Homo-oligomer: A and B are copies of this chain.
Amino acid sequence: MLVKGKQIDYALYLVTDRHYLGGRDLVAEVLKAVAGGVTVVQLREKNANSRDFYQLALALKEALVPRGVPLIINDRLDIALAADADGLHVGQEDLPVTVVRPLLGEDKIIGLSVSNEEELREGENTGADYLGVGPVFATPTKDDAAAPLGIEKLRLLRQKTRLPLVAIGGIDLDNLKAVRDTGMDGVAVVSALMTSPDIQAAARRMINLWQNR
């Protein structure tokens, strides 16, 4: 199975947000996105109770395992443990990586959100497997996000670490190539996929752009 972050294809990293789905089923939409080319899925639930979050994680895991696509849980170590997910993504306001690692184990992926060089270095020193870097552009998804980094700052941060970097924040078809050309290992996308009426086609267009086809 999946061992350590370095062996993961981070190219098109879907972060879920049920808020954008209206009545559409999350698992069904995620599977369409995977069929389109999504390579990693992060389940992000900011308002669900723990039971619902857990059951959603179980359902997604069951759907993703046969497709070889890793499932990362946002913020909640308990859900990652309970559902035996492939990993956990934490932000600066979540549990510290140093606290999470011994509880989650060496074989699981831990990602950390960073928005500047200091946080990037902290992520490297505490043993994160990859870093989410952003926001690259202004985004409607997180209203508490820091100021956008922009492409040049992304390029600078790329030179500071050999850890896999996944750019996040306002990435769409128009700016995806510019982001890729900074040397990122992947792009994380919320709204550009979750709001699409045809998520499979949207994912296909993004992965094709990423692979320069």
Which of A49-57, A160-168, A205-213 lies at the binding interface? Answer: A49-57
Contact A50 B81 (CB under 8 A): no
Which residue of chain B is the closest to A48 with respect to CB atoms? B93
The CA of A82 and the CA of B82, in the complex, are separated in Å by 15
The CA of A38 and the CA of B182, in the complex, are separated in Å by 58
**Contact for A51 among B51, B52, B93, CB less than 8 A:** B93
**Contact for A95 among B50, B75, B90, CB less than 8 A:** B50
Copies in the complex: 2
The CA of A93 and the CA of B76, in the complex, are separated in Å by 16
Contact A51 B82 (CB under 8 A): no
- Asked if A94 is at the interface (CB within 8 A of a chain B CB), the reply is yes
- Asked if A150 is at the interface (CB within 8 A of a chain B CB), the reply is no
Contact B94 A81 (CB under 8 A): no
Tell whether A49 pairs with B93 under 8 Å between CB atoms, given A77-B78, A77-B82.
yes
Which residue of chain B is the closest to A81 with respect to CB atoms? B103
Contact A78 B95 (CB under 8 A): yes
Chain B's nearest CB lies how many Å from the CB of A79? 8
Chain B's nearest CB lies how many Å from the CB of A112? 12
Tell which of A75, A78, A93 has the most Cβ of chain B within 10 Å.
Answer: A78
- Asked if A1 is at the interface (CB within 8 A of a chain B CB), the reply is no
Residues on B with C-beta less than 8 A from A52 are 93
Contact B103 A51 (CB under 8 A): no
CB pairs A–B below 8 angstroms (28 shown):
A49-B93, A49-B94, A50-B75, A50-B76, A50-B90, A50-B93, A50-B94, A50-B95, A51-B95, A51-B96, A52-B93, A54-B95, A54-B99, A76-B78, A77-B77, A77-B78, A77-B81, A77-B82, A78-B78, A78-B79, A78-B81, A78-B95, A78-B103, A81-B103, A82-B95, A82-B99, A82-B100, A82-B103
